[in-house]
Amino acid sequence: MNVLFLSLGELDDLSTGSVHIDIIKEIAKHHNVYLVAKRERRKKLNTELTQEFGINVLRVKTGNLKKVNVIEKGISTLLLEGQYKRAIKKYFKGVKFDLVLYSTPPITFAKVVEYIKKRDGARTYLLLKDIFPQNAVDIGMLKTTGIKGLIYQFFRKKEKKLYAFSDTIGCMSQANCDYILRENPEIPPQKVEICPNSIDVKETSVTAEERSAMREKYGIPQDKKVFVYGGNLGKPQGIPFLVECLERVKNTDGYFLIVGDGTEFSYLQHWFEENKPSNIQLLKRLPKADYDKLVAACDVGMIFLDKRFTIPNFPSRLLAYMQAKLPVLSCTDRNTDVGEVIQEGKFGWSCFSDDVSGFAECVNQALTADLKPLGENAYAYLKENYSVENAYTIIVGGRQV
């Protein structure tokens, strides 16, 4: 079977792990995989076809989408469909695809998906990782009225078209399935299923010696329970609430480590410079190998999501914590079911991201808890529910394509 995977990621290094790379590699064990990814103009490299890990990788030269102004990002996003379609026609013209896989974001692959579906009679499968444009409305980046409302309506039509051309929509959780069907009643329920974030499960916990060495390297107390947040520091994470939480827990018995980068990093940095907390540390994004070891040298992983979200996000960083056998403390909006999953799996605590007192109470519970069995529960839940083998079975197992 020939499988076409469309990605907005750059995916420069397939030797690293991620929710996209891991499932691509798993599918490649069984089928011929053709991966199309972007290569932003700033790299000054042309479109190129290579073979890596047995995967045909087509990196398409596109406009710049990261760290640019809204206008440039918007233009680059709108040009993506045509750029991908032309590249597929040129480089994969002799290939008949049986299955097309693609994820959100973006939603602007509709014409590419439609083209391959009509040309080859391919089955189409959407991995719904983000619900755009509503997520942008939730955090104030778009509006449903005025000039921004016109932009919203344009992308909303694109979104609905993508759903219509998708034979199957794989959602990250039950809350995602419920939301999509509620907000898009024209979608037949039978084409929506749970296909959660997944990874190639490999235990990443560290030895006592490695744990001590990493803590010493980054100036982290050896005798404290360390709460770590790692990843993007942007508007979706509700950084003002994170700061409120840090205000509440500074000078407590726990130690708090924030590692990452994003549009709100400077906001956090300013708070640190003003307050100089003794038990909280802010680090810029680290190399992946160092980051993974540092997370594993901590005790509790944290998740933050902006309280304004009406869509049920399900952050993939949850899996990284579970893989390191860390219990998880989630602070989210009231629409996601991440907290319910954590409690169902008995591997952590949850509160809402408009309740600082609730966060403080979760911290207190973690400080007095035996964390080892909770971490073991997290890893066991990961293996049972979020492995790439499980995702592969959902996507292609037992289905005729």
DSSP letter string, 20-32: HHHHHHHHHTTSE
Which one, of 88, 87, 91, 42, lies nearest residue 63 by Cα? 42
Residue 106 has a pLDDT of 63
* Residue 33 pLDDT > 60: yes
Question: How many Cα neighbours within 13 Å face the side chain of 158?
Answer: 22
**3-class SS at 335?**
coil
What is the distance between the alpha carbons of residues 214 and 259, in angstroms, rounded to a whole number? 14
Mean pLDDT of 14-29: 90
Which one, of 38, 34, 53, 196, lies nearest residue 99 by Cα? 34
CATH number of the domain located at residue range(s) 2-198+387-396 in this protein: 3.40.50.2000
What is the distance between the alpha carbons of residues 76 and 189, in angstroms, rounded to a whole number? 33
Residue 261 pairs in a beta bridge with 232
Angle at 130 between CA 30 and CA 148, to 5 degrees: 145
Residue 50 pairs in a beta bridge with 57
Percent pLDDT > 90 in the chain is: 70
* Residue 398 pLDDT > 60: no
Residue 179 has a pLDDT of 95
What is the distance between the alpha carbons of residues 3 and 162, in angstroms, rounded to a whole number? 18
In 222-264, which ranges are continuous DSSP H helix?
239-249
Q: Which of 148-157, 207-216, 354-363 has the lowest mean pLDDT?
A: 148-157
**Per-residue pLDDT band at 400 (split at 50, 70, 90):** very low
Contact (Cβ atoms closer than 8 angstroms) between residue 243 and residue 269: no
Task: Name which residue leads in pLDDT, 262 or 208.
Answer: 208
Which one, of 230, 199, 217, lies nearest residue 389 by Cα? 199
Mean pLDDT of 106-120: 85
What residues does CATH 3.40.50.2000 cover in the chain? Answer: 2-198+387-396, 208-385
Element (H, E) at 90: helix 70-91
* Residue 155 pLDDT > 90: no
The burial class, CB within 10 Å (0-12 / 13-18 / 19+), for 88 is buried
Note the Cα 251 to chain centre separation in Å. Answer: 32
Residue 361 pairs in a beta bridge with none
What is the distance between the alpha carbons of residues 127 and 99, in angstroms, rounded to a whole number? 13
Residue 177 has a pLDDT of 96
pLDDT tens, residue by residue, 190-238: 999 999 999 999 989 999 999 999 999 999 999 999 999 998 888 888 8
Residue 76 has a pLDDT of 87
**Per-residue pLDDT band at 255 (split at 50, 70, 90):** very high
Which one, of 398, 394, 387, lies nearest residue 171 by Cα? 394
Tokens encoding 396: 């292609």
Name the architecture of domain 208-385: 3-Layer(aba) Sandwich (3.40)
Contact (Cβ atoms closer than 8 angstroms) between residue 70 and residue 42: no
Task: Name which residue leads in pLDDT, 304 or 74.
Answer: 304
Contact (Cβ atoms closer than 8 angstroms) between residue 126 and residue 104: yes
Mean pLDDT of 110-138: 91
Residue 38 has a pLDDT of 92
Angle at which helix 356-368 crosses helix 239-249, to 10 degrees, equals 50
How does the average pLDDT of the chain come out, rounded? 91
Residue 401 has a pLDDT of 35
Note the Cα 383 to chain centre separation in Å. Answer: 18
Tokens encoding 237: 């994470």
Mean pLDDT of 301-311: 93
